[in-house]
Amino acid sequence: MDDDTGILVFLAIGVLVLVGIVVFGILSSRRKKKATTPTWTVQTGWIGEQPFIESSDLAADDKRQEELFRQAYPLGAALTIRGIGPDGEPTEREVHVSRIGRSLRAGFPQAKLGLTAYFQEWESSEFPVTFPVNGSDKIVQIAMDTDGVNAQDAAGATVWTAPWSMLLFSNGPDIVLAAGTGKNVRFEYTNGSALEEILIKYGTLEQMHF
From the list 156, 154, 159, 197, the residue with the least C-alpha distance to 175 is: 197
Tens-place pLDDT, residues 22-79: 444 444 445 455 778 999 999 999 998 899 999 999 998 999 999 999 999 999 999 9
Task: Give pLDDT tens digits for 111-148.
Answer: 899 999 999 999 999 999 999 999 999 999 999 999 99
All structural domains of the chain? 42-122 (no CATH), 129-205 (2.30.29.30)
What's the predicted TM-score (pTM) here?
0.81
Task: Give 19's pLDDT tier (boundaries 50, 70, 90).
Answer: very low
Q: Describe the strand order of the beta sheet including 168-171 as a list of residue ranges.
A: 134-135, 185-188, 175-178, 168-171, 204-205
Nearest to 132 by CA among 121, 122, 140: 140
